[in-house]
A and B are shown apart, each in its own frame.
Chain A
Amino acid sequence: MNLLIDSLSSAFQLLLSFDEELFNIVGVSLKVTCASTLIGSLCGLPLGFWIVFASFPGKRLLITCLNTLLALPTVVIGLLVYSFISRRGLFGSMELLYTQQAIIIGQIILITPLLTTLTIAAVSRIDKRYRNTALTLGADRIQMAMVIFWEARFSVIAAIIAAYGRVIAEIGISMMLGGNARGFTRTMTTAMALEYDKGEFTLAVALGLILMGVAFSINMLFHLCQGRLRADDL
Chain B
Amino acid sequence: MIYNISHLTKKYRKRVVLDIKELTLKRGRIHALLGPNGSGKTTLLNLLAFLDTPTSGTISFLGKNIERTESALVALRRKVVLVDQYPIFFSRSVYHNLEFGLKIRKIPKPTRKKRILQALELVGMTTFSKSRAHTLSGGETKRAALARALVLQPEVLLCDEPFANVDTENQEHIFKILQEINGNQKISIIFSSHDRPKAELLAHETLYLNNGSLADNRLNNVFPSIPDEIPGQYKIQIAQKYVFLKGPVNPGGLHKQRCCNLYIDPEKIKLLTHNHLSSEPGHITATVQEIRKHRKGIKIIAQSEIRLHLHLSSKEYRNNPPLVGQKISLIIAQDAVTILPTQN
B132 x A234 contact (CB < 8 A): yes
Given contacts A138-B74, A138-B152, contact A133 B88 (CB under 8 A): yes
A138 x B101 contact (CB < 8 A): yes
Tell me which residues across on chain A come within 8 A of B49, comparing CB atoms: 136
| Interface check A140, CB cutoff 8 A | yes
Tell me which residues across on chain A come within 8 A of B81, comparing CB atoms: 136-137
A137 x B132 contact (CB < 8 A): no
Q: Which residues of chain B from 61 to 115 have a CB within 8 Å of any chain A CB?
A: 70-71, 74, 77-78, 80-82, 84, 86-88, 90-93, 100-101, 104-105
CB 8 Å contact bits of A116-157 with B (1 = contact, 0 = none): 000000000001011011111111110100010011000000
| Interface check B148, CB cutoff 8 A | yes
**Count of interface residues, chain B, beta-carbon cutoff 8 Å:** 28
| Interface check A233, CB cutoff 8 A | yes
Given contacts A233-B91, A234-B93, A234-B130, contact A138 B104 (CB under 8 A): yes
A contact residues, range: 10 to 19
A138 x B78 contact (CB < 8 A): yes
Tell me which residues across on chain A come within 8 A of B101, comparing CB atoms: 137-138
A151 x B92 contact (CB < 8 A): no
Given contacts A138-B104, A233-B132, contact A133 B87 (CB under 8 A): yes
Tell me which residues across on chain A come within 8 A of B78, comparing CB atoms: 138
Cβ contact of B91, chosen from A132, A136, A141, A151, cutoff 8 A:
A151
Cβ contact of B74, chosen from A127, A133, A140, A151, cutoff 8 A:
A140
A-B contact count (CB 8 A): 62
Tell me which residues across on chain B come within 8 A of A140, comparing CB atoms: 70-71, 74, 104
B82 x A127 contact (CB < 8 A): no
Q: Is the interface of A mostly helix, strand, loop or mixed?
A: helix
Q: Which residues of chain B from 139 to 181 have a CB within 8 Å of any chain A CB?
A: 148-149, 152
Tell me which residues across on chain B come within 8 A of A138, comparing CB atoms: 74, 77-78, 101, 104-105, 152
| Interface check B51, CB cutoff 8 A | yes
Instruction: Give the docked Cα–Cα distance between A39 and B141 (Å).
Output: 40
B100 x A137 contact (CB < 8 A): yes
Give, as a whole number of angstroms, the nearest-CB distance from A129 to chain B.
4
Cβ contact of A143, chosen from B88, B104, B132, cutoff 8 A:
B104
Tell me which residues across on chain B come within 8 A of A129, comparing CB atoms: 84, 86-88
Chain B residue with the shortest CB-CB distance to A154: B91
CB 8 Å contact bits of A185-213 with B (1 = contact, 0 = none): 00000000000000000000000000000
Give, as a whole number of angstroms, the nearest-CB distance from B134 to chain A.
9
Tell me which residues across on chain B come within 8 A of A127, comparing CB atoms: 88
CB 8 Å contact bits of B230-259 with A (1 = contact, 0 = none): 000000000000000000000000000000
Closest 5 A-B residue pairs measured CB to CB? Answer: A137-B101, A129-B88, A138-B78, A136-B82, A140-B74
- Residues of B bordering A, CB below 8 Å: 46, 49, 51, 70-71, 74, 77-78, 80-82, 84, 86-88, 90-93, 100-101, 104-105, 130, 132, 148-149, 152
Q: Identify 10 new A-B residue pairs, CB closer than 8 A, beyond the known A133-B90, A141-B70.
A: A129-B87, A129-B88, A133-B84, A133-B87, A137-B104, A138-B78, A138-B104, A147-B90, A150-B90, A234-B93
- Residues of A bordering B, CB below 8 Å: 127, 129-130, 132-141, 143, 147, 150-151, 233-234
A-B contacts, 6 of them at CB < 8 A, read A133-B84, A133-B87, A140-B70, A143-B104, A151-B90, A233-B93
